[in-house]
Each structure stands twice: as C-alpha cells, then as structure tokens.
C-alpha cells in the first residue's frame, strides 16, 4: 500500500467513532511513526476555553492504537489500550494539535508508545505514553 492508501484506509474506519466526533484525522505515516491532527475548538474546550486534557489523551490513544495496526501491518489483530499517561505541559486555545506516535517497545503482545502532542508552532503541549495489548482475532 502507498502512504496515501494507508491514510485513506485509516481515516475511513473513524466513521461513527470518538475520532469522528473529535475530528481526528490521520495525516502522515512512515516506517516508524503515525501522525494525526485534531482541531482545537469548542468541542474540545475546558470551561475556560482551552484544550481539555481528556481530549488530548483521546487523541494520543487514538493515534497510538491505530499505529499498532498500521506499523505492524497485521489486520487480524485486536488492539486495546491498557494504560495511558499524559503530562500536559502547555495550554492551547486555537488552531490544531498534532500527535506523533512512535514505538518505544514493539512486542508481539505488548507495545509501548511515545506520543508527542504539539501545536501549530511545534510547541510541545503534552507528552504521553501509551501501553497497548494486541492479540490475534479469534
């Protein structure tokens, strides 16, 4: 598959999901990363008008979990996030946030991902770690 085909396929499965609700879009992929973006608007605000940490965590978990499928190139696995931690370092009020997931450990069943969430100026907003569990679909 080409890079464009991978991104089209990844975005097509977001219909009727949290990713669609949050307007998360996969925008780049490489041999060791997957990148997504999410708009910062009223659907992801805290009451005081800044990006909600929970929305950031949802973006991080979405891109990390999708990366398991895409980078492992195995469509016959079930993936679940089993732990996520996010250190929110800076707030954001408008534009987009971008999440890049890269593997730290890519085991057969357990994977550990680093997800860096940045803003339009490439400032680090959050640094996240996601542990995923994958197994063959029965």
Q: What is the DSSP letter of 40?
A: -
Q: Which of 20, 25, 31, 61 is catalytic?
A: 61
Separation of first and last alpha carbons in the chain: 25
Q: How far, CA to CA in Å, does 67 sit from each of 19, 56, 87?
A: 14, 17, 20
Two tokens, residue 114:
């680093």
CA distance 56 to 107: 25
Does the annotation mark 61 as catalytic? yes
Give catalytic residues, as residue numbers: 61
């Amino acid at each position: 598959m080409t890079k464009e085909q991978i991104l089209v396929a990844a975005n097509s499965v977001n219909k009727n999901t949290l990713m669609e609700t949050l307007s998360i879009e996969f925008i780049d992929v490489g041999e060791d990363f997957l990148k997504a973006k999410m708009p910062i608007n009223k659907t992801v605000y805290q009451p005081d008008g800044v990006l909600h940490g929970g929305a950031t965590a949802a973006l991080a978990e979405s891109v990390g979990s999708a990366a398991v499928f895409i980078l492992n190139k195995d469509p016959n696995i079930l993936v679940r996030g089993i732990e996520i931690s996010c250190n929110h370092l800076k707030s954001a009020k408008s534009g987009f946030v971008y999440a890049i997931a890269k593997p730290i450990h890519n085991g057969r069943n357990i994977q550990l991902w680093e997800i860096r969430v940045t803003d339009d100026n490439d400032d680090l907003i959050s640094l996240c770690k996601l542990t995923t569990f994958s197994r063959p679909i029965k």
